Chains A and B, each alone.
Chain A
Amino acid sequence: MQVTVKVNGEEYTGEIEPRLLLVHFLRDELGLTGTHWGCDTSNCGVCVVQVDGTPVKSCTMLAAMASGHEVLTVEGLEQNGELDPIQQGFMTEHGLQCGFCTPGMMLTARWLLDANPNPSDAEIREAISGNLCRCTGYENIVRAIHWAADHPRVAEPEEVAAS
């Protein structure tokens, strides 16, 4: 079947099997391996991407279901060559050790901050409760998300004009 999915602002059209999961579509068909593939049972959250601005576990969604929708992966977080504050926060606060959970963590955190620019510790921990870190580096992950909350991206003048 044919699908057309907008990924990180770019439209992809391709022929896929209906049973292809979104995570494998992103990794194997588009080569976007920043989205990781972990437990395969919607527990661990390393495969989290945003679909129409909402984080979902891409191992539990068919690529076919994403057709006609917009997907944001970790590769799309940076804008105009500049890292998203959430990425800068993970660097600054050492929010990763092995890095396997990091893309999913960041896409969930980006969604949290879009809805709640100043979350408490408890709100952050609740938001990322579907993203597991096997290094158990949660302290620094929470700090990284706080860092991003404290350093929001400054809207560029042309973006303001465009909107």
Chain B
Amino acid sequence: MTRKDWINLAGLAVFVLLPTIAQTVGQPFLVNLFTRFLIYAIAAVSLDLILGYGALVSFGHAAFFGLGGYVIGIVAFHTADGSGLFGWAGTGQALILWPLAVATCALAGLVIGFLSLRTSGVQFIMITLAFGQMLYFLLVGLMVYGGDDGLAIKRRNTLPGLDLRDASTYYYLCTALLIGWVYLCRRIVGSRFGMALRSLKQNRRRSVALGYAPLRYQLTAFTVSAAGTGLAGVLWANYALFVSPDMTAWQKSGELMAMVILGGMGSIFGPILGACAFIGLEQVLTAWTEHWMLVMGPVLVLIVLFGKRGLYGLLVPEREHG
């Protein structure tokens, strides 16, 4: 086994054993904190797919996070008050709702990606930002669903055989989804498709000359990434039992990017570490001072200036990276 395998195994062990550890040390809130880690890790891993492997800097990825959450929130809203949606009574079944929400995000990703990929460079950053802002203002304007104040959700969705209201059960479900998603993403970036995506990042002109049509690869990656981010939004809505337009704000997109960079871009595993470190640091700093941004801001600058390959890059030698 290489050093990288050991580190990944250690990370996996921490995640799997965490509820037991939390119980033993008498800090049950750790389970909630780590659930947040897991949810943001799914979003960060998804973003890494296009950021690290496709060099597509999406500044509006929070839109998919919010969209996934709002699908859950809106269905729950209509199910609870009995009004139904388009003649459908609604449901609390995760097996129906979650795929529906993820598919919605994938579809949104397909449309937004198709339009955005007509541009590149700074224009791409700005047009993805613009789509994110459009969704943000749409949600703020939807007074039916709480507008600016957001929408509270009464109870978590249900899965047959599992009690998702239990913190540990929900934690393990998120762990399982993260593991599955990471496995899928590793398979994607290691496949012929992933190679083509990377070659387009490294030298677009040469790849095109070799016969790769950029749009097909980049759009697929964008759509998959949107779906994964949507899944994270679904999990967040079920965890926090609350969705608000802030989930789609541009600062949130910035945070997701910061997690990817902090952990190490283009490694799939790195962003998991990045998400944990980012949220962990936020947690520690907010407990310490109200003005935690005074520290967090410069930390971001330092990460960018000096953190060449992120935290994961510090742990894993370069030849095993990627």
Do these two chains really belong together in a complex?
A: no
A residues at B contact (CB < 8 Å):
none
